[in-house]
Amino acid sequence: MQKKGKNIEPLIIITGHGYKKLHIEEKILSSINALIFDADRVSKDEFLENIKLADALIVGDTNIDKKLIDIMENCKVISEYGIGVDNIDVKAATNRKIAVLNVPGYGTGEVADQTMALLLTLARKIYFLTNLTKLKNWSYARKNTKPIYRLKGKVLGIIGFGRIGQAVAERAKSFGLKILVFDPYQNLHNLKNDYYVSTLKNIFKESDFISFHCPLTEGTVNLLDEEKYKLMKKTAYIINAARGQIINEKALLKALESKWIAGAALDVVSDFEFTEDNVLYDYFLNHDNLIIVPHTAWYSEESEVELRTRATKGVIDILLDKVPESQVN
């Protein structure tokens, strides 16, 4: 795709989005007469040819590394469909004076709801008992229900207490769970009386459920490793709706096989997709105490529209020399 006139029609490349249509983006970008290039519908060679000319990128599940950034001749902004920007080399973009944007808070309620849904599914053995009833029968499943424990009074450890962590805590409180929180980046001095600041080690030792809501950084990669599993109760469950790389999956497999923990529920894995190459794949197929869903925690019809709208409007802000809602560099 060639731009029709110098600085007249900005070229916007949209990649890794997974949407059937880009009608939301098209409507918003029509206000600046932008040319839209859907990279999900073309070959890699076509993508690379056009990225050189792009004025802006809107990015989903695509890695935008230094090599790609270095061939962008005109790019002024990379806008992420999401909160985390670990798929973008922010340092390389900054060196090229390219703004990197994200969309904080767009699916807070959805992720918190899904976290609680996963917690309850584990605690009440919903997935296990549904499958047992299907594979065997009603009576057999009833006889193999035990043990299930009362939620009230159990301990939920929340690692990462930003918007989502706080939303999870609000929901968990209504079930009578005791809330322990750890977040070295948040001011936790003015917590509500029913939340308790804890150390990371204590959360792993004391919690019946541990839920991760921290960003992916050098300090959180493989945060949950073999050593931490050994600290946990054998009846404990983990829930991850943050980033897959926070959990060392080889260590998780060993923890499940060795019965160091009771189970896990994951909305994310270490790669963009969960395939048979993943170390957890065979265990997942053959056991009901590992729940994996395809990174849908963020999703509702409303949150998708919000995400796409805000990510696209950020591009317009930069191209019109306005201050964007959220710039990370």
Q: State the catalytic residues.
A: 243, 273, 295
DSSP string across 152-181:
TT-EEEEE--SHHHHHHHHHHHTTT-EEEE
DSSP state of 133: H
Q: Is 102 helix (H, G, I), strand (E, B) or coil?
A: coil
Directed axis angle between helix 108-123 and helix 126-135, to 10°? 60
Terminal C-alpha separation, the chain = 29
Q: Is 324 helix (H, G, I), strand (E, B) or coil?
A: coil
Closest alpha carbon to 168 in 233, 134, 117 = 117
**Cα(238)–Cα(255) distance, integer angstroms:** 11
**Cα(167)–Cα(117) distance, integer angstroms:** 13
Number of H helices and E strands in the chain, helices first, is 13, 12
Q: What is the largest CA-CA distance in the chain?
A: 73
Phi first, then psi, for residue 316 (nearest 5°) are: -60, -40
**Cα(18)–Cα(304) distance, integer angstroms:** 12
Closest alpha carbon to 211 in 84, 104, 116, 124 = 116
**Cα(297)–Cα(240) distance, integer angstroms:** 10
Contacts of residue 296, Cβ cutoff 8 Å, sequence gap at least 6: 114, 267
